[in-house]
Amino acid sequence: MSVYWPCACLSHRGPIPFLAVCYGIEYACQQVNSGVSAIFGPQNPLLGSHIQSLCDALDIPHIEARLDVESEEKEFSINLYPSPWLLGRAIRDLTKYLNWTKVAIIYEDDTGK
């Protein structure tokens, strides 16, 4: 059993150049041709959706851990990242448990990363 784990450039978070996306897809295709049994990642949403589509088309398990606002269930993919609803509920429960009256959450960008 072989498993593809994306290299550092493929797990980059944030905007990535078009060439890097093409390289990532090409690298994943090479791994598929060599008989990979599963693909983990990447974290980049653009590349991740391409890899997920490739895995769906070829019936290859795809495991990822990234924020995915699509709640659509995918046949060959599993996302280990908690849903925004569960994260909100955890923050609410922690706030109640600690008897806090106010909470501030600061994000780097508008997607909550």
Query: pLDDT by residue (tens digit) across 32-75?
Result: 778 888 888 887 777 888 888 888 888 889 898 887 777 677 88
Q: Write out the residue range of the structural domain in which residue 49 sits.
A: 16-81
Within-domain flag for 28? yes
pLDDT score, position 27: 75
Please count the other Cβ atoms lying within 10 Å of the Cβ belonging to residue 46: 14
Query: What mean pLDDT value characterizes the chain?
Result: 76
Position 9 confidence tier, pLDDT thresholds 50, 70, 90: very low
Within-domain flag for 5? no
Within-domain flag for 27? yes
Cα atoms in the 13 Å half-sphere on the side-chain side of 37: 3
Within-domain flag for 62? yes
Within-domain flag for 7? no
Q: What is the pTM of this model?
A: 0.61
Q: How many domains does the chain have?
A: 1
Within-domain flag for 66? yes
Within-domain flag for 45? yes
Position 112 confidence tier, pLDDT thresholds 50, 70, 90: low
Residue 7 to residue 79: CA distance in whole angstroms: 19
